[in-house]
Chains A and B, each alone.
Chain A
């Protein structure tokens, strides 16, 4: 607890210093607010347009959560089928690599054509970005089980299902969470990127990515900054949420979770 307090204090100190440098630069170079607004202006814009800021934040959160949750469910399901048969794995694994190498941004226009602009397209983009790390890590965890442990289960006449549920799946938990952690980090980025392209079905109301574009077109730089801060906060929230879930499931037995920052 003492260590966490100390870390928090130093983080706050650095934050304050950064604010001072920010104000100092504006004052020293006489930068106009439409290029670089002061922190006070940013806060004022955030307060003034709190309602629309929260609406954008809500839409982006929905897209990121939906995309990530879908990727976790589908990714783990695909990994389970890969773990059940080397044959299935050899056939389909190359396609998950392909998924990772195709720049999703490049197929965004296609997705918009299919699903229309707005939340569903953004969610699908997030989903596609989050999927590969989850499949790769979970599959690795499921198939890297100690041969002796499999033999031990076989000696007791365990079925494939029992080996999967009582051995492979728990064994794969740390790698699965490693994959989800990576996916969680890029889920928010994926949602925002998606919104930059797939925008919104309603003019003027959309997720943070859409609102950033809108604010930039209107040179509302102070509000744009407020949106960027909100997006960063969302990224942080995701990171800590995934960390907490990981810690909750693994802290009893796994070293990686024990040594994490939450301990």
Chain B
């Protein structure tokens, strides 16, 4: 009960993700990210978009604790990224499934490594498979699945540990547009049910606008924050949302911001 009390206070005071002057240099050489400052509040869905070389994937790895800051501070739920791994899940560019494991065993991987007992693990895996609609294919191997299905398994694996923060690194880039749109809608539905916070790297403006409460545009060489734009389209967002004028306007606005950054970068 005391822990509950602490949790409530934290919810009010600590942002889910906070970057203060986060900087990344490789050795003495190039600066990849230069003094990045932003906060992501609980329950927000923030997309990061920018030209190639702006360090958006590096940024995500730093928040995941897979790559240390050269300067500045990153806090996830008030903890260092490494300590916050318990409440963080990462979804990679490719599905990155283990081909020798069935869907069920792949989804249970995180829980298994966390040392969750078999009974509880199986129960959690079953419920998350139901949630993403993979109950039917639980005993198949990855090679028997389509690209979209593999990505759903990857999402299920990330959600199985009940994360509070979800980090996604261009996860749907390899999918065809129809599959991508459908999985985007499913992802929003899952967020509504589970209430995690998301930091999402993408190179698709439409995808960023559709999913996000905020879009952050990075400029390249060195990577730095250029624009921070609120996306105030109402939830729940559906296929209809994509056809609305408000959506098109937002896409145009973000595209303009991205273009200004790219043009400036090309001139520099």
Contact = CB atoms under 8 A, between A and B. Distances in A.
A155 B96 contact: no
Among B89, B100, B109, B114, find the residue whose CB has the most chain A CB atoms closer than 10 A.
B100
A18 to B, nearest CB: 40
Interface in A135-158: 146, 148-149, 151-158
B93 A148 contact: yes
Given A151-B90, A155-B66, A156-B114, A253 B96 contact: no
Interface in A206-263: 252-255
B102 to A, nearest CB: 9
B141 interface: yes
Contacts, number: 57
Query: What is the size category of the interface that chain A forms with chain B?
Result: 20 to 34
A153 B157 CA distance: 12
Contacts of A149: 96, 98
B161 to A, nearest CB: 8
B156 to A, nearest CB: 14
B126 interface: no
Interface in B96-124: 96, 98-101, 109-110, 113-114
Interface in A88-131: none
Contacts of A7: none
A192 to B, nearest CB: 36
Interface residues of B, number: 24
A237 B93 CA distance: 45
A162 B98 CA distance: 14
B212 interface: no
A155 B85 contact: yes
B23 interface: no
Contacts of A252: 100, 141
Contact of B96 (A152, A157, A173): A152
Contact of A254 (B85, B99, B113): B99
A170 interface: yes
Among A148, A156, A254, find the residue whose CB has the most chain B CB atoms closer than 10 A.
A156
Contact of A156 (B93, B113, B143): B113
B94 to A, nearest CB: 7
Interface in B115-166: 141-143, 161
Nearest to A173: B100
Contacts of B100: 170-171, 173, 252-254
B92 interface: yes
B88 interface: yes
A166 B142 CA distance: 17
A67 to B, nearest CB: 29
A153 B96 contact: no
A146 B85 contact: no
B92 A148 contact: yes
Contact of A155 (B64, B98, B101, B142): B64
A167 interface: yes
A217 B90 CA distance: 71
B36 to A, nearest CB: 21
Interface in B25-56: none
5 contacts: A151-B92, A155-B88, A162-B113, A173-B100, A254-B100
Given A151-B64, A155-B64, A252-B141, 6 more contacts: A151-B90, A152-B90, A155-B65, A157-B85, A253-B143, A255-B143
